[in-house]
Amino acid sequence: MSNRLKEEVSPYLLLHADQEIDWYPWGEEAFERARKEGKPVFLSIGYSTCHWCHVMAKESFSDPEVAALLNRNFISVKVDREERPDVDDVYMTVCQSLTGSGGWPLSIFLTPDQKPFFAGTYFPKNTVGRRLGFLDLLRIIAEKWRGDEEELRRSSEEITAQITGLLETEKESADADPTETGFSYLWRTFDRENGGFGGGAKFPTPQKLLFLEEYAERTGDKNCLMMIEKTLDAMARGGLYDAVGGGFFRYATDKAFRIPHFEKMLRDNALLIPVYAYGSQLTGNTFFLDIAEDTAAFLLREMRTADGAFHTARDADTDGEEGGYYLFSKAEITDTLGAKEAERFFVRRGIEGEPSLNGKFLPYLKETNGFRADPFRAKMRRFREARSHLFTDEKVLTSWNGMTAAAFAALYRVSGSGLCLETAEECFESLLNTVFDGSELYSGHKNGRFLAPATIDDYAWLIFACLQLYEASLNDAYLRRAETLFEAATTHFYDPERGGFYTRNKKSTPLIFALKETDDTDSPSANGIMAENARLLSVLSDCHLPAEILAGQKEFMARALGEHPYTAPSFLRVLSMLEEPPQIIRCVAPKGVDLSAIAPHIPLRSLILRLEPSGEYPLLKGETTYYVCEADRCLPPRGWEKGEKTPWRETAAVSENS
C-alpha cells in the first residue's frame, strides 16, 4: 500500500509513502478536502535525518491503529522542513508561542483554513505516566472537534491573531551599542569551564563565533579571544567532531561537548568551515585551520554529488542504533590495527576507562599534532565504511549549497588551496544549472525535479556565495550575478514600507501570517545575511540599491530586535564591520590577467575589488597596481609580487597584539 507521498521528491516524504496513513503533501488539495469533509488537519513536520522523527514514525505513523484514527478523523499533511522552511517557520513560531519550546517532529492540529489550535513535538504512541500518548491525543482532539468544533475554531482565531499582533509589534530600541550588548550577553552566558554557551546541550552556534571573531579583530578584546579559542578547541577535541572521518555532528547532548547527537548536516559543517578558518588567521593556531580543511575533506569525500554540489545530510542511525556507525569496541580497534598500533590509537584518541556509549567508545582528538596524516585514522575509517551504510538525504538545497560554496571560497582565502576555489566554483555552477528554470529560482532539486519555489534564504545565500567567490577570484561575473540576484530578492521579498525581507515571495499564496525572520536559529537569519550582502555590495558595486537597503535593514532590525540584539549575532557582525569600515584594496590590472592568486594574501576583514585601468586609477609601469585606503587615508599606489611585503595592512593574531 502507498499514499500520495509516493509522487514526491523529498526523501523525508518518501520515507512515509508506504504507511497506511492517507498522507497529503502541503498544498491546497489537502485543505480543500478538510473543508469539504469538515475535518481538522494534522500537520506533521520533520526531516530525513531527525532521530525523533524516525522514532515517532516507527512507533506511531507505522501503527495500524494510529493510521485508522488519523484516516477516520483527520486530514493528515506531511512536510519536509528542509524543503518547505517557510511552512516550518510559521508553525514552529506557533509551537514556540504556545508551549515555550519547539523541535522536531513538529505536531500541529489545524482548522481547515490552516489556523492552529494545538501544538507539540514528539509524542510516544501510548500515554506513560503524565506524558500524553499520541493515540490518546488523537482521541481527545477528535472528540473535542465533534463535540465543540466552534470552540476550537474560536481558539485558532485567537491564537493566530495573538501571534500576528506580536509579530507586528515594534520593539523599543535600546540606547546601548548593540554590539556591546551582544558581546556582554555572550560573555555572561559563556561556559568558562567547558567552552560554548549555556549549561545544557551544546550547539556549535557558528554565527555567535563569527561575530566574536569580528569583535576580537576590531577591538583586540582578550576575553573575546579567550571565548573563541576555548570554544573552538573544545568542539574540535570533543565528541562534537568526528575524529575518524572528519566533520561535525549536529550538537552535543552534554555541556562538555563529549556526547554528540550523531547526524551530520551540510549546513552545520559549511558554516563551521569559515569559523575555524577565520579563527586560525585571527589566533595563529594552525590546529583550527587543520579542522577547517579536514571538515572540507569530509564534505568532498562523503557529501558531494557527481556534478559538484552537495547532499543535505547523513543520518544518525544505523540498524536502529543511534551513533552505532561511529562507535568502536577496543577489540574492533585491536583487530583492525594490531595490538601495538591499537595502544597508540587509544592514547591519541582518548580511549580509556569504561565504554560509555552503548558499550563502545567514541574516539576524540586528544592529541592533535598531525592527526590528518595519521594512517591509523584512515584504517579505522575504512573499517567502519564496511558497516551498514548510513542513510544520506540526497536532495540538493539551494541555500545550504550557497553556504557551502561561500565556505570553500573563504577557506581558499586562508589556505590558498586551489582545490577549495575550484570546489566553490563548481558548486556554484552546479546550482546555476539545476535550480533555475530560466525565470524562477527553486529551493533545490533531486533526481532532476525541482523542490518548492525559493525563499529569501535561497536568494540570500546565493548572493553571499557570489560575493565570496568574487573576493576569492576577482572574477567580475560573480559580482554582476550578485547584483542581479540582489535586485530580484529586493523585488520579490523586500517590504518597502516597513523594511525587512519576508521569508516567502510576496506573490506566493499567503500563509496564516507573513514572517520576516530576524533571530538566528540553526543558521543566520536571512535578514542578517541580506544586511551583510547589502554592506558588501555597497562597497563593491556601483549600484545605489544596496546602500539604500542597508540603511533600511539597520532601522528594521533595530525595531525588530529591541533590547535583545544578541538574538541576531549575524546582524551584530554587520554592525561591527560598519563601526570600523575595512580597508579597501583596489586592484587595477590589465584585462585578462588572472588575479585569483592574490586572495590568500588579503586580510579577511579587508575588501578587494578589481578595476580596469583609468585616469583615476592608472597602471604603474603597465603592471598590476594596488590602491589601498582605510579610514580617512589612502596609501601611495604600488605594485606587489609574492614574497614582497604587502602594500596593505596584514591581519596579525590578536593574542600577539592585545
Q: How would you classify residue 409: left for phi > 0, otherwise alpha for psi between -120 and 50, otherwise beta?
A: alpha
* pLDDT class of 656 with cuts at 50, 70, 90: very low
CA distances (Å), origin 33, targets 27, 30, 77, 108: 11, 5, 12, 18
Band of pLDDT at residue 592, cut at 50, 70 and 90: confident
Q: What is the pLDDT of residues 123-170, one digit of tens each?
A: 999 999 989 999 999 999 999 999 999 999 999 999 999 999 888 876
Residues 6+ apart with CB under 8 A from 646: 601, 640
Q: What is the mean pLDDT of residues 175-198?
A: 93
Q: State residue 639's pLDDT score.
A: 87
| DSSP for residue 190 | B
Per DSSP, the three-state class of 82 is coil
| Cα–Cα–Cα angle for 331, 249, 520, rounded to 5 degrees | 165
Residue 604 — very low, low, confident or very high, per pLDDT cuts 50/70/90? Answer: confident
Instruction: Specify the pLDDT at position 365.
Output: 95
- Cα gap 312→394, rounded to integer Å: 6
Decide yes or no: CATH 3.40.30.10 for domain 4-168: yes
The pLDDT of residue 647 is: 78
Helices and strands (H, E) in the chain, number of each type? 22, 19
Query: Counting beta carbons within 10 angstroms of the beta carbon of residue 34, is it exposed (0 to 12), middle (13 to 18) or buried (19 or more)?
Result: buried
Look over the chain and give the mean of its residue pLDDT values, rounded to a whole number. 93
- Residue 318 confidence (pLDDT): 82
Q: What is the pLDDT of residues 273-285, one digit of tens each?
A: 999 999 999 999 9
Q: Check whether 631 has a pLDDT greater than 60.
A: yes
Element (H, E) at 119: strand 116-120
The owner of cell 547532548 is 253
- What percentage of the chain exceeds 90 in pLDDT? 82
Does domain 178-315+393-579 bear CATH number 1.50.10.10? yes
Residue of 166 and 122 predicted with greater confidence: 122
In this prediction, residues 179-186 reach a mean pLDDT of: 96
> What was the pLDDT predicted at 355?
86
Give mean pLDDT, residues 242-255: 96
Using the predicted structure, report yes or no on whether residue 13 has a pLDDT greater than 80: yes
C-alpha cell at 227: 571565548
173 pLDDT more than 70? no
Whether 4-168 shares its CATH topology with 178-315+393-579 is answered no
pLDDT band at 653 (very low <50, low <70, confident <90, very high): very low
The angle subtended at Cα 319 by Cα 318 and Cα 320, nearest 5°, is: 90
Q: What pLDDT shows up at residue 650? A: 58
Query: What is the structure's pLDDT at 455?
Result: 97
Tell me how far apart the alpha carbons of residues 325 and 300 are, in angstroms, rounded to a whole number. 19
Residue 657: predicted pLDDT: 31
Residue 654 has pLDDT above 60, yes or no: no
| pTM for the whole structure | 0.94
All structural domains of the chain with their residue ranges: 4-168, 178-315+393-579, 317-390, 584-657
> For the segment 442-479, what is each residue's pLDDT rounded down to a tens digit?
999 998 999 999 999 999 999 999 999 999 999 999 99
3-class state of residue 241 by DSSP: strand
**Among 581, 589, 580, CA closest to 473:** 589
Q: Does the pLDDT at position 651 exceed 80?
A: no
The DSSP line for 354-393 is S--BTTBB----SS-TTGGG-HHHHHHHHHHHTSSPPPEE
Q: From residue 36, give the alpha-carbon distance in Å to each of 29, 113, 366.
A: 11, 11, 62
How far apart CA 283 and CA 270 sit, in angstroms, is 21
How far apart are the C-alpha atoms of 634 and 642, rounded to whole Å? 22
In this predicted structure, the answer to whether residue 45 has a pLDDT above a threshold of 90 is yes
Residue-wise pLDDT tens digits, 58-69: 999 999 999 999
Instruction: Among 99-108, 330-339, 637-646, name the one with the lowest average pLDDT.
Output: 637-646
pLDDT in tens, 507-559: 988 899 999 999 999 899 999 999 999 999 999 999 999 999 999 999 999 98
Q: How much is the pLDDT for 174? A: 62
What residues form DSSP beta bridges with 357? 360
**Range in 47-51, 158-162, 653-657 with the lowest mean pLDDT:** 653-657
Query: What does the pLDDT read at residue 658?
Result: 31
Identify the three-state secondary structure at position 204: coil
Alpha carbon distances (Å) from 534 to 15, 487, 515, 618: 40, 11, 20, 28
* Cell numbers at 131, concatenated: 506524558
pLDDT at 389: 84
Contacts of 331 (CB under 8 A, 6+ apart): none
